[in-house]
Amino acid sequence: MSFLDELNDVQRKAVTTTEGPVMIVAGPGSGKTRVLTYRIAYLLDQGVKPWNVVALTFTNKAAREMRERIETLIGPDARYVQAGTFHSIFARILRQHADKLDFPRDFTIYDKQDSINVIKSILSELSLDPKVYNPSSVAARISSAKTNLIPPNKYEQHEDLMAEDRAMRRPFFYQIYRRYMVRNHHSGAMDFDDLLYYLFWLFRQHPDVLEQYRQRFQYVLVDEFQDTNHLQYAILKQLSLYEGSPENICVVGDDAQSIYAFRGATIDNILNFEKDFPAVKTFKLEQNYRSTAHIVKAANALIKHNKRQIPKEIWTEQADGERIRVVRAMTDGEEAKRVADLLLEIKNRHHIPNKEFAILYRTNAQSRSFEEYLRRFGIAYRVYGGTSFYQRKEVKDLLAYLKLAVNPHDSEAFRRVVNYPKRGIGPVTVNRLGTYAAQEGLSLWDAIEGTSLSPRAGENLRQFKMLISEFHKKVNTQAPAELARHIFQRTGLRMELLQDNSIEGKGRMENVQELLNSIQAYQDNEAVDVIEADTEKKTLAGFLQNISLLTDADTEDGDDNKVTLMSVHSAKGLEFQVVFVTGLEEKLFPSHMAMDDPRQLDEERRLFYVAITRAKSMLILSYAESRYRFGQVIYNTPSRFLGEIPQPLTDVSVFDRPFGEQKVTAKTTPTKFRPFRHKKPPKRHIPNFKPSPPEAIREGVTVLHEYFGKGKVLSINGQNDKRVATIFFEEMEHPERRLMLKFAKLQVIS
């Protein structure tokens, strides 16, 4: 097994210790994916059957890359390793046993928007105010209940939860939750949480099914274990923790990179793993192969401020590299300009391609100003996490028809296209249908026959039902790509799009053609069913499941030589030569929501740890002393995280600190962070200077300021006393300033 020679000592031990529980604590850039891949390859080389190995990941892309690497090492048997996301593998198991849960085998998987639409319709039925019962907040609370294995009947009996709802002025939440679960069941639909929730109950209520998968999954491997939630871990324990179990479970993760508590992930799973599995063997991958020594030392110094963690010290054999630069700006606009300036300088000086740059921020709203300056400088970029291809209206319209062809009881798909293109079925008819369906416990599809409707509306609905029935009969006999093209034509969607000759209309047609192309590509490309370990028949239902389980990390951009703009949460698992971490101000990063909660503050620090360890060779940290937020100028203090990085690791010119060098060691106590402040320019002698009234200051005018000199007003934001002008003062070293007009004292000169 020559591939073992490519591993360092601790990696090799982690790979070859195959029996019993194993925890691999993998620091950033420590070769985690290689260890996980080689461990599977080693198991197969030792005679373990590939279908007895299951590897659970958080993206389909990670699973695909893992299988490809194993195939390179040991050959085509890797195709039968059951590698996939929790949701994709669990969905396949549920389809095999859907009848035991009274679901159709081809149940629909609802995305986030589908779920919110169901909640909106329930709020309407119950006459509840959506401003009080915010649909997104309701969806999040339903998700939390399911993740904690609290079904609706138990929720109603839970005094603390009911008291919380009353305190939040949402006393009828339990009714929404109950109806939501019933409604989806009638529609033959599961949301993402249900794929975990129903699997747990399938295993709990049907021990024979659980035993089947215990025998099938003899070796369980879990990637990014620190990101698992209570429910995912409960299922892992069902499979691996029972009397007589060999406990062949291997979890790989890093507690210092646990950053998804807002999604329900809990760091307790990895911190308490050895309590559940006392025989666990723990291996710490501490050698970092990604970053320079300065970046690695900064990461170590930062994370030591967190109390609840698995102790480790990442290290590297790489050179110190450049010091970490800290950029101070007066305003968020100036911050964006200086970041863009510096990016262009580094790009040209070091000949680094665009794709090796990342600009990271705490909130997506921060991307706008960076986009503006990158466009001005002609730098190609992409914003990660924008509108997904599969969320575009024209794409969702055709997908709704495809979903109905597979599962006519999908009420959300039904509502979306029952009158698109228009066929004389208005909202009054659909509401009447929905009311009857809710009263009788039916899907909209089944309610057509029993609802009292006008002759015209009833006939139009029956015609629609005949159309969908025609498609449904062909689902199992016609190739998916051919059927999709037929549906596109037969429903009138194609004619509807062809009639729009605008540039936008042509773009919408191109998007639908791309969807049809993707169905053809799915049909032509053989794939392995990760549950049955056999080549699966390509069906429309299979295609719909694949795309419903895609994540942002699974989508590819055809032209990848672009600067990446993304939130820090989205950057996890990625790496770049040059990383800018921006907006490092108190109440922004760390977030204002973490100020009073030590656990949340620890998670914010872990988030910053993730951000800085994305960088290979250069790390730039920036902050703005003022930022336009919530309709007004907010004045900021630098983030406490900047003060937790030992100053000898940073660009010396940025700080005003005591003389003498500070040796960087594991126990270094960082000097208090004191940003260098520019001296105020001297007051100018301007003859006859007379400030103009604030209302006279308009975009495009030229003004005089007693300290900053002559400047041009670029833009004005806010209203009344909170109007703020962005002004370009041509004589200043940092020319762009934001001034509140109420206090600015500006004289209009042209």
- The count of other CB atoms within 10 Å of the CB of residue 279 is 10
- From the list 16, 33, 551, 632, the catalytic residue is 33
Spatial separation of the C-alpha atoms in residues 67 and 78, rounded to whole Å: 6
Of 257, 292, 309, 582, which is the active-site residue? 257
| Alpha-helical segments (H) within 377-449 | 393-406, 411-417, 427-440, 444-447
Neighbours of 100 (CB within 10 A): 15
Is-catalytic flag, 323? no
**Closest residue by Cα to residue 447 from 466, 462, 463, 467:** 462
106, 111, 194, 223: which is the annotated catalytic residue? 223
| Torsion region of 29: left, alpha or beta (phi above 0 gives left; psi -120 to 50 gives alpha) | left
Cα distance between residue 402 and residue 388, in whole Å: 18
Report which of 612, 75, 2, 660 is spatially closest to residue 314, judged by C-alpha positions.
612
Q: Are 624 and 331 in contact (CB under 8 A)?
A: yes
Nearest residue to 122 via CA among 178, 188, 162:
178
Q: Alpha-carbon distance 723 to 718, whole Å?
A: 4
Q: Is residue 223 flagged as an active site residue?
A: yes
Contact status, residue 213 vs residue 235, Cβ threshold 8 Å? no
Cα 330 from chain centroid (whole Å): 31
DSSP state for residue 574 in the 8-state scheme? -
Q: Is 297 helix (H, G, I), strand (E, B) or coil?
A: helix
- Dist. CA 339–CA 356, nearest whole Å: 15
**Cβ 558 vs Cβ 550: under 8 Å:** no
DSSP 3-state of 700: coil
Catalytic residue among 337, 614, 627, 737: 614
Q: Would you state the structure tokens that stand for residue 127, as one six-digit string?
A: 């006459």
DSSP single-letter state for residue 353: -
Q: Count other C-beta atoms under 10 Å from residue 686's C-beta.
A: 13
What's the full length of the chain, in residues? 750
One-letter amino acid identity for 525? N
Is 13 catalytic? The answer is: no
- Please state the φ and ψ torsions of residue 157, each to the nearest 5 degrees: -95, -5
User: What CA–CA distances, in Å, run from 255 to 63, 280, 681?
Assistant: 21, 16, 48
Distances in Å between the Cα of 617 and the Cα atoms of 19, 171, 612, 663 are: 38, 53, 11, 21
Q: Collapsing DSSP states into helix, strand and coil, what is residue 624?
A: strand
Say whether 371 is catalytic: no
49 is a catalytic site residue: no
- Interatomic CA distance for residues 229 and 242, integer angstroms: 20
The backbone torsions φ and ψ at residue 492, rounded to the nearest 5 degrees and listed phi first, read 90, 0
Amino acid at 243: E
User: Which residues fall within 8 angstroms of residue 100, CB to CB, at 6 or more apart?
Assistant: 202, 205, 206, 209
Exposure of 12 by Cβ count < 10 A (0-12 exposed, 13-18 middle, 19+ buried)?
Answer: middle
Residue of 114, 224, 585, 604 with catalytic role: 224
C-alpha distance across the termini of the chain, in Å:
79
| Residue labelled with tokens 């299988």 | 67
CA 1 to chain centre: 38
What's the alpha-carbon Rg for the chain, to the nearest Å? 29
32 as an active site residue: the answer is yes
- Look at phi and psi of residue 252 and say left if phi exceeds 0, alpha if psi is from -120 to 50, else beta: beta
CB 689 within 8 A of CB 674: no
Residues classed as catalytic:
32-33, 223-224, 257, 614
